[in-house]
Amino acid sequence: MTVHRTPLCRRVIGCAIEVHSRLGPGLLESAYETCLAREFALQRIIHKRQVPLPVEYKGISVRQAYRVDFVVEDELLLEIKSIDYVLPVHRAQLFTYLKLLHLRQGLLLNFKAPRLIDGLVSVLL
């Protein structure tokens, strides 16, 4: 896993830090998601929210099996959490979503961390 951050990643992280600094840690994920979408709009960052992620398997499609929190500028996957600890399963989820969406960069942000930067996982494949 790499921590290279593109200009887009830095902008998204800046928006997330703004939301986290105003709301603080520990709220429900849905609150952060709504506020982050608002911050993206204010910053004129193009994004899609709750993007369906179909799963294809041997000729069948499991439509809307999963939903991705955000796809930003059609190039960055953003998953947000509000959990005690980021576990290996959360990192695996990020990698799998990137693969299924054919994207190269992703962020996982844990808004429950006292400092958002401590709850950040950045991936550039």
Q: What total number of domains does the chain contain?
A: 1
Give the residue numbers spanning the domain of 18. Answer: 7-124
Q: Does residue 39 fall inside a structural domain?
A: yes
Tokens of 53: 């992620």
Q: Does residue 96 fall inside a structural domain?
A: yes
Q: Does residue 70 fall inside a structural domain?
A: yes
Q: Does residue 95 fall inside a structural domain?
A: yes
For residue 36, pLDDT over 90 is answered with yes
Q: Which residues are CB-neighbours of 98 under 8 A, at least 6 positions away?
A: 77, 104, 105, 106, 123, 125
For residue 5, pLDDT over 80 is answered with no
Mean pLDDT of 72-78: 97
Full-model pTM: 0.90
Q: Does residue 1 fall inside a structural domain?
A: no
15 touches 36 (CB < 8 A):
yes
Q: Does residue 38 fall inside a structural domain?
A: yes
Q: What pLDDT, on the 0 to 100 scale, is given for residue 85? A: 93
